[in-house]
Copies of this chain bind each other. A is one copy, B any other.
Amino acid sequence: MKIDVVALGETMIRLTPPGYNRIEQSHHLEMHVGGSESNTLIGLSRLGLSTVWLSRLNCNPLGQLVASSLRSHGVDTSHVVWTAEDRVGTYFMERGSEPRHSEVFYDRADSAASRMQPKDLPVDLFEPARAKLFHTTGITLGISESARLTAVEAVNLARQAGWKISFDTNHRVKLWSADRAAPCYREMMQLADIAFLPIRDAKNVLGCRADQNEEVVRELACQFPNATIVLTAGEQGAFAVQPSGKPIHQPAFRTALVERLGGGDAFTAGFLSAYVRDQSLETALCTGAAAAAVKYTIPGDLPLFDRRAVERIAAGSGSTSANDIAR
Q: Tell me the A residues contacting B by CB distance below 8 Å.
A: 15, 18-31, 60-62, 64-65, 68-69, 71-74, 87, 90, 92, 94, 96-101, 103, 105, 107, 109-110, 253-258, 290, 293-294, 296-300, 302, 304-305, 309, 313
11 A-B residue pairs with CB within 8 Å: A15-B15, A19-B258, A19-B299, A23-B31, A24-B64, A28-B28, A71-B71, A98-B255, A99-B290, A99-B313, A109-B110
Pair A72/B74 contact, Cβ less than 8 Å: no
- Can you tell how many copies of this chain the complex includes? 6
Q: Please name all residues of chain B whose beta carbon is closer than 8 Å to the beta carbon of A299 when the two chains form the complex.
A: 19-21, 25
Pair A61/B31 contact, Cβ less than 8 Å: no
Given contact pairs A61-B94, A73-B68, A94-B61, A297 touches B24 in the complex (Cβ within 8 A): no
Q: Please name all residues of chain B whose beta carbon is closer than 8 Å to the beta carbon of A313 when the two chains form the complex.
A: 99
Given contact pairs A61-B24, A68-B24, A98 touches B297 in the complex (Cβ within 8 A): yes
Pick from B25, B92, B97, B107: contact of A256, CB below 8 A: B97
A218 to chain B, nearest CB (A): 30
Can you name the residue of chain B whose Cβ is closest to the Cβ of A309?
A: B100
Pair B29/A31 contact, Cβ less than 8 Å: yes
Pair A297/B29 contact, Cβ less than 8 Å: no
Pick from B28, B100, B107, B256: contact of A98, CB below 8 A: B256
Given contact pairs A258-B20, A304-B22, A99 touches B29 in the complex (Cβ within 8 A): no
Pick from B31, B253, B290, B293: contact of A26, CB below 8 A: B31
Tell me the bound Cα distance from A255 to B299 in angstroms. Answer: 22
Pair B24/A304 contact, Cβ less than 8 Å: yes
Tell me the bound Cα distance from A298 to B18 in angstroms. Answer: 12
Pair B98/A23 contact, Cβ less than 8 Å: no
Q: Please name all residues of chain B whose beta carbon is closer than 8 Å to the beta carbon of A258 when the two chains form the complex.
A: 19-20, 97
Pair A23/B297 contact, Cβ less than 8 Å: no
A267 to chain B, nearest CB (A): 14
Pair B96/A297 contact, Cβ less than 8 Å: yes
A67 to chain B, nearest CB (A): 9
A-B pairs, 7 with minimum CB distance: A72-B72, A23-B61, A97-B297, A68-B72, A100-B297, A98-B256, A97-B256
Given contact pairs A27-B31, A255-B98, A298 touches B22 in the complex (Cβ within 8 A): yes
Can you name the residue of chain B whose Cβ is closest to the Cβ of A87?
A: B107
Pair A255/B99 contact, Cβ less than 8 Å: yes
